[in-house]
Amino acid sequence: MNKKTFTFFPEDPAQTVRIKRFLMALGSYAMWVVLCTVCILQGFTRFTLKDLYALSAVVMLFNAGIYLLLRTGWNKRFKDPSLTMFQMILATMWIMVCLYGAGEIRSSMLMLYFVVFVFGVFRLRFLQFLVVSVFAIANYAVVVYLVYRFHPGEVNLKVELINIMLLATVLPWFSLLGSYITNLRTTIAKALETIEKLAVTDELTGVYNRRRLLEILKEQKAFCDRGNKVFSLCIIDLDHFKSVNDNFGHETGDIVLRGVAQTLKQNIRDFDIIARYGGEEFMLVLCSTNGAEALTFAERVREIAENMRFENHDHVRITLSVGVAEYRPTESFQATINRADKALYRVKENGRNRVEFERYAESKQMYLF
């Protein structure tokens, strides 16, 4: 039995992206520790190096917990699996501690808030940004109060009031801008998804187009050649489809094509493929299926088609002619297509509404593809 070895990144691409963002945030913590160390060595803060490293250890413990949530997949149970808002609030609390001990450079360290808010652009909506903004402003107000209470000589209330006003103005504005960027990213992602879908999908029927079909056949051939597996092809033709267009109109013809495509799709297995091969022809790629099994399936599909009814077009009846061929390892997939096409041609010669199979031995031509 092969033991699974631990990998830092999971196999799930989405989880890998989330962990990479988490590592970017972790890099920010490392940057802050370096800056705080410099400030301590220069005497700008009341913290000692021992205090800093103790606080850093606590922060790292929290981040280790976040990594475990991401790596084990438990984060998927939350509404935001990226845990963006939680990580931003944790970072904001860390900044609060740094500001409390910052002394005279407190105003300069306010810039750390903007490092945190940049990460919200990955995910947060406006209201979420606003919540974090209010939390950050309230944190800073608490810091000012605590410093004033315990170290009154370090506080210039006029300056701190200006700092709070600046945060109250800039952070909500940043929230608005950040949410706009988030929405823009979402819109672009959806547009790209639509474009990718259109590139491989037949617009009329909603099944794969010929371009994607050929890519799938190349993949199937490579897979089968490696493992001595087989797959079978069924080329399906709608009998006398031209008469449907001529007698009932092209709109009805489109309804029939969509209906047949969706019926075929509903009757194949999840890992089988259906594509529009051209005009009124469809092709089924039946994975891990030999010729005999493909023949049985094709006959069942043919019978289903005979009983098909189209919404608001009960007067339309169709039948299917099906040519079947089984792929043999090392032959070109084009040769398999040609054999299925030859079987389909034989069906049409023999009266249509039938299923025919073309054996490998009957093919006399070799195709280099």
CB 354 within 8 A of CB 237: no
d(CA 73, CA 176): 31
| Active-site annotation holds for 280 | yes
Tokens linked to 14 = 């989405």
d(CA 175, CA 179): 6
> 319-343, pLDDT tens digit by residue?
999 999 999 887 899 999 999 999 9
Is the pTM higher than 0.75? The answer reads: no
DSSP 8-state symbol, 3: P
Looking at residue 195, its pLDDT comes to: 82
Tokens linked to 156 = 């210039």
CA angle in degrees (0–180, nearest 5) for 190-191-193: 65
List, in order of start, the domains of the chain with CATH numbers. Answer: 13-200 (no CATH), 210-362 (3.30.70.270)
Ordered mean pLDDT values, 10 residues apiece, the chain (369 residues) = 67 89 89 89 90 91 94 91 90 90 86 86 83 91 91 87 90 85 84 81 90 91 84 94 90 92 91 92 93 93 89 84 91 92 93 89 41
Tokens linked to 108 = 């300069």
Looking at residue 311, its pLDDT comes to: 77
Looking at residue 4, its pLDDT comes to: 56
In which element (H, E) is residue 125 found? none
Helix residue spans in the chain (DSSP H): 13-41, 49-72, 84-100, 112-120, 126-150, 157-200, 210-227, 241-248, 250-266, 291-306, 333-349
CB 323 within 8 A of CB 345: yes
Cβ-based neighbours of 236, under 8 Å, separated by 6 or more: 264, 281, 282, 283, 284, 298, 301, 320, 321, 322
Query: Annotated catalytic residue: which of 160, 280, 281, 326?
Result: 280
CB 116 within 8 A of CB 95: yes
Residue 322 β-bridge partners = 236, 355
Looking at residue 313, its pLDDT comes to: 79
d(CA 287, CA 273): 8
CB 97 within 8 A of CB 139: no
Q: Which H, E and C letters describe 249-281, residue by residue?
A: CHHHHHHHHHHHHHHHHHCCCCCCEEEEEECCE
CB 225 within 8 A of CB 329: yes
Amino acid letter for position 107: S
> 136-192, pLDDT tens digit by residue?
999 999 999 999 999 888 888 899 999 999 988 988 888 888 888 888 888 888 888
Start-to-end Cα distance in the chain:
39
Q: List phi, psi (to 5°) of 82.
A: -80, -15
Tokens linked to 9 = 């990144």
Looking at residue 363, its pLDDT comes to: 44
Other C-beta atoms lying within 10 Å of the C-beta of residue 256? 22
DSSP 8-state symbol, 314: T
